[in-house]
Amino acid sequence: MEDIESDALLGSDIIFRPIQLADIPEIHLFPVTYGDSFYKRLLKPGFFTVAAISKGQVIGVATARYEQRSYFDKALSYVIQRNRHSYLCTLGVRQDFRRKGIGSALLQEICRVVAKRGRCHSIALHVKTENRAAVDFYEKHGFIRLCREYQFYEIRNQLWDAFHLIKYLDDINRPHMSPLSLMLSSFFIMIITIWSTLTFVPRRLYSRVQYLLEEELPT
Ligand SMILES: CC(C)(COP(=O)(O)OP(=O)(O)OC[C@H]1O[C@@H](n2cnc3c(N)ncnc32)[C@H](O)[C@@H]1OP(=O)(O)O)[C@@H](O)C(=O)NCCC(=O)NCCS
């Protein structure tokens, strides 16, 4: 599998490459615990992964996928004239390696990979509003807030709000926001926010059933 070059952390012993099957048992970096089936799915086509490796150990991962778009997202994408988007599924650095620039390097790499290999114009993500460190981190890296989604995450039976953030990946494709398109996109963002609030319960039920079915299926 091809290694990924990185401009960041040049001169250190850290290398960046896609996640491999053998890495999966080692990846327990996040506040949310994902099962092995989650990571196995990330190795399939349509997903992009970057692992930071130091002395043979995985010290950080970033994973992304093409964004599955809802009807309203498609309408919004029409207004801002974009057609290929990605979504950051996870980003995490091992606790003892934080604040050394590794998260920034991983984010830089995954953005480069989805822009170059996936030909995506943007990368979006959700982050818990309470996770100030991560919100600051993403905003420092040029992400902007699309909206706040209420009770987006359910973690150990507790519900948490999330910010929906987005970063545009190149200046050429940055949307030109005329007053009309700004007004239209604000309207669509309002509709999306109302829609996501109203459909929260059915969507949670659907994803829970899907998750339970996947856990039951033999791999
Ligand atoms: C968010 C995370 C990936 C950042 O990784 P990292 O390697 O520590 O980040 P960096 O060293 O590249 O930090 C870059 C900048 O982000 C900001 N930042 C990072 N961690 C921060 C913290 N705990 N508090 C405040 N700002 C923070 C700072 O501005 C920092 O620059 P500085 O160190 O020069 O002040 C890491 O804290 C992490 O793995 N957290 C747990 C998982 C998680 O919350 N993931 C994101 C939600 S999906």
Looking at the domain assignment, is residue 6 inside a domain?
no
Got the DSSP string for the chain? -PPBP-STTTTSS-EEE---GGGGGG---SSSPPPHHHHHHHTSTTEEEEEEEETTEEEEEEEEEEPPPPHHHHHHHHHTT---EEEEEEEEE-GGGTTSSHHHHHHHHHHHHHHHTS--SEEEEEEETT-HHHHHHHHHTT-EEEEEEEEEEEETTEEEEEEEEEEE--STTS----HHHHHHHHHHHHHHHHHHHHTHHHHHHHHHHHHHHHHHS--
- Tell me what pLDDT residue 157 has: 87
Q: How far is the CA of 133 from the centre of ligand 1 (A)?
A: 6
Provide the domain count of the chain.
Answer: 1
- pLDDT tens per residue, the chain (219 residues)? 344 444 556 557 899 999 998 998 888 776 667 777 888 888 888 899 999 999 999 999 999 998 866 666 666 655 555 567 899 999 999 999 999 999 999 999 999 999 988 888 899 999 999 999 999 999 999 999 999 999 999 888 899 999 999 999 975 444 556 777 778 877 877 888 888 888 888 888 888 888 787 766 665
Pocket lining: 92 vs ligand 1, CB cutoff 6 Å: yes
Residue closest via CA to ligand 1's atom 21 equals: 133
Which atom of ligand 1 lies nearest, measured to the CA of 97?
7
Pocket lining: 127 vs ligand 1, CB cutoff 6 Å: yes
- Tell me what pLDDT residue 2 has: 43
Here the CATH number for the domain that contains residue 124 is: 3.40.630.30
Looking at the domain assignment, is residue 1 inside a domain?
no
- Tell me what pLDDT residue 218 has: 60
Q: Give the structural domain span for 157.
A: 15-216
Looking at the domain assignment, is residue 165 inside a domain?
yes
Q: How far is the CA of 92 from the centre of ligand 1 (A)?
A: 9
137, 152, 155, 160, best to mutate for ligand 1 pocket (most atoms within 8 Å of CB): 137
Looking at the domain assignment, is residue 124 inside a domain?
yes
- Tell me what pLDDT residue 4 has: 45
Q: How far is the CA of 129 from the centre of ligand 1 (A)?
A: 15
Looking at the domain assignment, is residue 21 inside a domain?
yes
Looking at the domain assignment, is residue 118 inside a domain?
yes
